[in-house]
Structure 1
Amino acid sequence: MKNLLKIFILCIWIQQLTFVTAAAQQAFLQNGVTAHRGNSSEFPENSMPAFVSALELGVDWIELDVFLSADGKVVVTHDKNLKRVSGVDMEIAAHTFDEIASVDIAWEFRNRHQLSLEESPKLTVPLLEDVLQLIVSQSKTRLSIQPKMDCVDEVFELIDKYQAAAWVGFNDANLELMKKVKSKNSSVPVFWDRLPDTAIDKDIETAKAFGFEALVIHYSGITAEKVAKVKATGMEIGAWTVNDIGVMESLLELGVERIYTDYPNELLKLKRKD
């Protein structure tokens, strides 16, 4: 009798957990605004303040980039070398995370905007697990992860650790890496990045064959015909990376459903006008 009671309680718990997970998924925003490297127009790219700001704005997706450090940490940065953002010539793959964390990734942003150290304090490269913990603490915004090297296994270890599968997707042009994502967890969405001169019919065929959810084309190659073809398949059509308001308006008029931008607040304002 006690065993039956335990089984009954376990079943109820599983049902409640399933309901909570489903409710969280239903609560995710669906506004077509992807904050490229976070709110990177107002804060240093791929930094925790940029990600927190994007959450506060209410974007439905935040995009970030990841590499592996020499000691196997999944770190969040766009380039394989930190020189552009920090002024320090440091290859990610050749250094430990402790060494990587010693540089200031707000350096370029501060200089470009002519800000003081007080106005733009020093920042360190985040770990992906720090961002995942931030993302799973809410149920409005999801995280699109771009692996800049083959670190898909390591990323999924963290996703599993923080039970974050419902909160994440992946984007990149590398077909093999995106196929690997689907082999790890077919329910995790993939947004396949394409160049402006993409062979749209072939790309649609490939994307459908591997279960990708979207094609994201460089904005300069978006046409009404491409938009119509992608949407006719049931996939989403997106554009990267759009920072001009006029171009945003044109893409929205064409029916583009997702726009990656460094200026998520400006795109949200346009969306609210519709």
Structure 2
Amino acid sequence: MPTLSRRSLTLAVCAAVVAVLLVVAAFAPLPVTIVEPGLTANVLGTDKGTQIITISGTPVRATSGQLRLVTIAATRPDASVHFVDVARAWFRTNEAAMPRDSVYPHGGSVQANDKANLKEMADSQAAATGAALGHLGLSPSKVTVQLHLADVGGPSAGLLFTLGIIDKIQGDGHGADLTGGRVIAGTGTIDAHGTVGAVGGVPLKEQAARNDGATVFLVPRAECSDATAQLPGGLRLIPVETLDGTLAALADLRAGRQTPTC
């Protein structure tokens, strides 16, 4: 029986070690999260039978069209994600693998992340209310805005909440809806001064928006590159940077004029 040379034996041992390492790598949990298009919600409507935006202290108006906030859904921070999950997401347009700490920056605790997301949502709602009332010249001591939306956290709905409050109170200021009767979706943080900020996950949010009937998508201008990479057919992008700029773009859209583009 022939014997293996020292070189052949070394190669065989190395190959076996590599094979074991590959098997271990394939089944070892990775510090990533799989994300996909999440739910959308029309802020001018209801959530589980409750108005998402409730306003008292000033007259409100009936609205048509929709202003849909969009979300992404992610595996929980304590879920095990393996190489096979990442490989599958790589070949799918409706999934993506993202570093876990970029999706869950508050660590691996479900409770800690849920608490942080709820606080970010509360802060976002306060900023959205401040931006809307400031734009309308209304005092928060006289006008009360309550925002209700279950199962959604984080700050990325700020811009849409602001637009929803303005639409319910004033519309375009001349009796027309901000939407012009369209289904408009969008994402972006907002501060009390009306500055729109980036949020992440835009390609998947665009898919969620298009799935729920949106034809226009408001995106922070800083995320134009991501927004155009996998833009669904039939969805028109409008990049925005400020609340005033967003309202001006929507006015141009209603009037059939050219709107900003990426």
- The TM-score with structure 2 as length reference comes to 0.31
Larger radius of gyration: 2
Higher helix share: 1
Higher relative contact order (CA 8 A, sep 6+): 2
Higher strand share: 2
